[in-house]
Structure formats: structure tokens, C-alpha cells
Amino acid sequence: MIWFYLISGLFLGWSLGANDASNIFGTAVGTRMIKFRTAAIITTIFVILGSVISGAGATHTLGKLGAVNAIAGSFTVALAAATTVAWMTKLKLPVSSSQAIVGAIIGWNLFTGSPTDINSLTKIISTWIICPLLTAFFSFLLYKITIKILYKINIHILEQDVYNRIGLVLVGAFGAYSLGANNIANVMGVFVPSSPFSSLSFGNFFSINGTQQLFLLGAIAISVGVFTYSYKVMMTVGNDLFKLTPVAALVVVLAESIVLFLFASKSLERWLISHGLPPIPLVPVSSSQAVIGGIIGIVLAKKGRGINYKLLGKISSGWVTTPIIAAIISFVSLFFVQNVFEQKVVQPSNNKDVNVEHQIKINKKVFHIPDKTDIKSKVPDKFRKQKSISSKNRINNQ
């Protein structure tokens, strides 16, 4: 049965590859600095490496948002997110796979009546605004500095072309590695506890455990998505929205990488804290939004001329509709999976150690029956004799 459920993860991987490859090589392919085939091959190699070597557990913030605890639920959430991303890819719109997953998880929360962590949701939504703005700022600044430098150094146009291509390939390879490392958990993380693979050893050279094999499968799905369906979204990012020059293309991907690094680097956070500076919150930000923000930065540097505002409007509305559509598809699909196919989409929680006060703070609805010893220590003696008063009412009175 696990093989059937894996299909939605693979579909999500395919959708992610088809849509997110544009964030890495869209500007390079759109400006014809790198051929699509070359970009797809580099992405494949580094996505697989990133997934297998550095792919690690679920992204913490997404995990806090909603804990999908049944395999059929995970299957449906992944399928809803994948369908939404695939649909947006068909419309040639670059969207955030993370947004689709957030929407699908909220759909699961709504269907199962599970609490949604408002703090986490607020944090995630705020990054959807801050990320493109920050990338636009970095892109604007970097572009102005780069042009000033290029005017000063006397480098032949053909040599500059070579350096540009090398830069785009290196940044693209790094971006593909990060894509694999950061997103494979979204694609395959929920299937790790039920992985059908066992460890494989190749003599004394190296071994690959079950989780890595699962991630390899997910990475291959991402790569197939890149090869089969990513070209159109690449052209939207690299060409249709704004005619980028090769130098501008490199600046955009550099600005994108800087912002993704800022929001993901634990070492930077430690350094800032150790020097008494405010840390940057570590949340997963969308590379799709970052790359669009980067292009806007270039547009601003060129005084706002030549941008396709109609397409920009379409892309922005795609960011708003993606989580909503994913939530709706998730909700409806869960209904069918639970009631038509009679699969469990949620496991009731038996965790008796849950802190009741913490639950009340997150959400007014309490689903957990508190442990009697916890309540005994808090309830004064005169009330213990009144066995008719329910635990729930006591807590509400407190």
C-alpha cells in the first residue's frame, strides 16, 4: 500500500521540479546564456546530490503549522499540493511549492478540526511579503554596483560573457543543491517512517540507507519534472516578465541566493546573536517569490521601463490563489478519501503529557483530555469531592 501512497509524493516531486527549476536557471535559460538541456542536466545532478547528502527531516515551521499524522492524510495533502502546483505550471506561472503545501496542510487542519498554529502561519505569510521585497532590494543594489564595476574594469565583451556563464552555472548548481536539500523533506519526508527500502552497502566503499533511497527516488521525480515540463515556466521567469540582460540574470540569482541564505543560515543566526545583533528568523522562504522579487529589483534599477505588468499581476494573483486552491483541493479530497475510500486521514492523539495550558493558548478548542494527576495537583481539596463537575468545566473556570 505504501507504494501507492508514494505516488502522490512523486507527483509532488515532479510538480516541484517543473515549477521550481525556473527559480534556479530561469534567468540563465531565458537570456540564452545556458541551453535548457544543459540547465536540466546540472539541476538533475545537484538536486540528487542535495537530496541524498543533505536532505533532512521535515521543515520545522511547516511541522509546527500542522502535524499530518496519518499516511492517507499525508497522501492527500501531498496530492492536493502537487495538483495545485501542476495546474499553475500549466498556466506557466512560477508559484511557491511551499505555499501550496501550507495551503494543503491548512485544508487538512480544517477538515480534521486540528488546531492551526497562528504564530507559525503569521510568520510564514509575512515571509511571502518580506522575501520578494528583500530580494528586490538586494537585486537593485547589486545591479548598480555591478554596472559601476563593469564600466571601470576593461574586460573584453567575450571574456565577460564567459565569466557570466560560469557564474550562472555555479550559482545554478548551488541553487539546485539547495533545492534538493531543502525541498526533499516536503516531497518525501512524510513517507520516511514507512519507508519500504532497507540499507544497501556497496562493499567497503559506501552505503545508502532507506531514507536516502527514498530521497533519491524523490529527487529523480524532481529531475523528471525539470526535464519534461519546466521549460515554459523558465521562459516566463527569464524572458516574458522582463527582458533581462545576461548581467542582470546573474545579479537576480545572486540576490535570490543571498536572501535564501539569510533566512536559512544557522551559523549566521549564531554570529548575529553572539554579537548582540537581532537575529534573522529561520523560516523556509519561497525561491519563486525571491526570483520574481529579484527581477523587480532590476526593473526598478532600470527605472521601471519594459516590464510586463499584466503578467506580473497574474503571477501575484497566483501567489494568493495557490494556498487557497490547495486548501480547497485538500479539504475536498480528504472528504473523498475518508468517506468514499474509507481511509484514515487522521490519527486521534493519545498523548497524555500534553500541556493543557499551552493548548488553550494556541486554540480555544481543546481536543485532549488532560491527565488526572496534572489536574489533581492544581484543583483545591474542596473541589475533589465534587466528582460530577467535568474536567473540562474546571479548566474553563480556571
Rank residues 53 and 166 by Cβ distance to another protein and give the closer one.
Answer: 166
CB of 50 to another protein, least distance (A): 23
Nearest to 186 by CA among 288, 74, 290: 74
**Of the candidate residues 4, 151, 205, 206, the single one contacting another protein (CB under 8 A):** 151
CB of 166 to another protein, least distance (A): 7
Does the protein bind another protein through residue 147 (CB under 8 A)? Answer: yes
Binding segment toward another protein, per CB under 8 A, in 42-50, 67-75, 153-161, 330-338: 153-161
CB of 291 to another protein, least distance (A): 19
Rank residues 149 and 320 by Cβ distance to another protein and give the closer one.
Answer: 149
CB of 302 to another protein, least distance (A): 6
**Of the candidate residues 3, 4, 156, 310, the single one contacting another protein (CB under 8 A):** 156
CB of 362 to another protein, least distance (A): 53
The Cα-based distances of 105 to 135, 182, 288, 289, 290 in angstroms read: 27, 18, 20, 20, 23
Cell readout for 328 is 480547497
Residues 9-68 interacting with another protein (rule: CB under 8 A): 31-33, 35
Binding segment toward another protein, per CB under 8 A, in 146-154, 273-281, 356-364, 383-391: 146-154
Residues 159-218 interacting with another protein (rule: CB under 8 A): 159, 161-162, 165-166
Rank residues 33 and 52 by Cβ distance to another protein and give the closer one.
Answer: 33
The Cα-based distances of 325 to 33, 104, 106, 251, 334 in angstroms read: 35, 8, 11, 33, 14
**Of the candidate residues 53, 150, 273, 277, the single one contacting another protein (CB under 8 A):** 150
Rank residues 32 and 90 by Cβ distance to another protein and give the closer one.
Answer: 32
Helix axes 2-30, 287-301, angle to 10 degrees: 10
The Cα-based distances of 9 to 81, 98, 354, 383 in angstroms read: 10, 14, 31, 52
Helix axes 2-30, 97-112, angle to 10 degrees: 150
Q: For residues 389 and 391, what is the distance between their CA atoms, to the nearest angstrom?
A: 7
CB of 158 to another protein, least distance (A): 5
Q: What is the DSSP string of 241-305?
A: S----HHHHHHHHHHHHHHHHHTT-HHHHHHHHHTTPPPPP--PPPHHHHHHHHHHHHHHHTTT-
Q: For residues 21 and 326, what is the distance between their CA atoms, to the nearest angstrom?
A: 20
Size of the site for another protein (CB under 8 A): 21
Does the protein bind another protein through residue 245 (CB under 8 A)? Answer: yes
Map residue 385 onto helix, strand or coil.
Answer: coil
**Of the candidate residues 225, 246, 294, 323, the single one contacting another protein (CB under 8 A):** 246
CB of 343 to another protein, least distance (A): 52
Does the protein bind another protein through residue 302 (CB under 8 A)? Answer: yes
Q: For residues 89 and 91, what is the distance between their CA atoms, to the nearest angstrom?
A: 5
Helix axes 309-339, 71-90, angle to 10 degrees: 150
Q: How many residues does the chain have?
A: 398
CB of 261 to another protein, least distance (A): 25
Does the protein bind another protein through residue 125 (CB under 8 A)? Answer: no
**Of the candidate residues 154, 267, 351, 373, the single one contacting another protein (CB under 8 A):** 154
CB of 160 to another protein, least distance (A): 8
User: What are all long-range contacts of 310-315, with beta carbons under 8 Å and residues at least 24 apart?
Assistant: 311/236, 311/240, 311/241, 312/241, 314/91, 314/93, 315/93, 315/94, 315/236, 315/241
Which residues of the chain form contacts with another protein (CB under 8 A)? 31-33, 35, 147, 150-151, 154-159, 161-162, 165-166, 245-247, 302
